[in-house]
Structure 1
């Protein structure tokens, strides 16, 4: 049974997400502005955001959320997000990913993922997903 575990709200995480999503969809790579925003976050948020950015790049998605169906499992440079989701072309899909970064969380060392089923629109409100 899956739970709808939510990570605590963090203003700095929200600001980074807004900064990243303000770029054109093909520009998720780490430029100086994104690096500067990442460095302002605590280490756990740096890891999660860097892995989510990598997921957006590889999946051609405009959003990745690591914690929709379950809390990610974290280590200092590793994130296992088996209950993640991503949005592409207006639809949400289940996602599982395994991500390892460099110690500074700026470089991806390994990223593996498995795309899951499309999430029915009727389920979006209960999962806090949006169009």
Structure 2
């Protein structure tokens, strides 16, 4: 979990400055084991992708392991129990994300948006406002 926060902090600190973000993000990612690295690049790619959806244009968090641990097989991360937060609401999410062989880049991200997660269950599954 601590490593997860480090990587997302790097992304947040650099915002849209792509060159700085890429260099610092890569250095942070190299400190992680390959599976965790794959999960992290998928979170970053996932947020970029879902924000293009009108329903999720305000997305600011993506949690791949909310209801079930995301699986990493070959170069694919499959999350059947993920969640995404947009405009202070959490939604169920399923996604598949293909990563490069070094797990430093997400190449493809497809998703299926599920139902809104009721606020009275957030604490139980590790979500927050």
- TM-score higher than 0.5: yes
Normalising by structure 1, report the TM-score: 0.82
Following TM superposition, the consecutive aligned residue runs of length 4 or more in structure 1 with deviations greater than 6 angstroms are: none
Aligned to 1:119: 117
Aligned to 2:25: 34
Normalising by structure 2, report the TM-score: 0.83
Aligned to 1:13: 4
Tell me how many residue pairs correspond in the alignment. Answer: 120
Runs of at least 5 residues in structure 2 that lack an aligned partner in the other structure: 52-58
Cα deviations across residues 23-62 of structure 1 (Å, max 9, x unaligned)? 44xx396521112111111111100000111111111221
Shift of 1:108: 2.3
Aligned to 2:98: 100
Runs of at least 5 residues in structure 1 that lack an aligned partner in the other structure: 1-9
Query: 1:31 is paired with a residue of what secondary structure?
Result: helix
What RMSD over aligned residues (CA atoms) do the two structures have, in Å? Answer: 1.8
Is the contact between residue 75 and residue 100 of structure 2 (CA under 8 Å) also seen in structure 1?
Answer: yes
- Report which stretch shifted further, 68-77 or 82-91: 68-77
More helix by share: 2
